[in-house]
Amino acid sequence: MNIGVLAIQGSVSEHLSALKQCGVQACEVRDRKSLSEVSGLIIPGGESTTIGKLLKLYGLDVAIIERVAGGMPVYGTCAGAIVLSKKTTGKKPNIVQLLDIDTARNAYGRQIESFSTQISAPTLSRKPIPAVFIRAPKIIRVGKNVEILARFHNEPVFVREKNILASTFHPELTNDLSVHRYFIAACARR
Ligand code: GLN
């Protein structure tokens, strides 16, 4: 199984490294051809405005929508979650609108208000998992078919709707692999 990480901007190498530590093949995705060869795709954190613009420029927005409609699992981290959401507040990045949630960008404050914490995610792990929030968005609406996998201060921070997964935190910046393992399991079930 080969899992792709969208490699146009953001924390790409950290996701590739986490996937490889889980024992799967992982590759960068930058164009339609590499997208067509993967069994799942991670859209990393970074800057959603930039990621959205480049997705459109490379024609990857439409290609991602088609593959996800065909069942390919996708996981958006932080800016990736914004890109996947139905609606977002603030300066509007181009979004693919696949996941029935709304997000509010930079909702915890500025870069300096970034933090790392532990969250409980019982579906993934019995122990709390570490989570790094960097100028993170908040999920401000969750559609009725969206399952909440983890909360922080009672607000959803990790959600799933069918083959679409999104977290407002960065698991790839911690040593814990449970979020990546969960995503890999979803890719393997296909
Ligand atoms: N603040 C960024 C945005 O709105 C997201 C930050 C991140 O991905 N860590 O796009």
pLDDT digits (tens, 9 = 90+) for 118-142: 999 999 999 999 999 999 999 999 9
**Residue 172 identity:** E
Please give the distance, rounded to the nearest whole angstrom, from the Cα atom of residue 33 to the centre of ligand 1: 27
* Cβ-based neighbours of 75, under 8 Å, separated by 6 or more: 40, 41, 42, 43, 164, 165, 166, 167, 183
Mutate which of 12, 14, 48, 110 for ligand 1 pocket (most atoms within 8 A of beta carbon): 48
Domain range enclosing 100: 2-189
User: If you search the block for the tokens 């696949």, which residue do you land on?
Assistant: 98
Q: Are strands 40-43 and 85-88 parallel, antiparallel or unpaired?
A: unpaired
Ligand 1 atom nearest to 114, measured from its CA = 9
Residue 53's CATH number = 3.40.50.880
Instruction: For the chain, list residues with pLDDT below 50.
Output: none
- Count of structural domains within the chain: 1
pLDDT at 94: 76
Please give the distance, rounded to the nearest whole angstrom, from the Cα atom of residue 138 to the centre of ligand 1: 11
- What is the reported pTM? 0.97
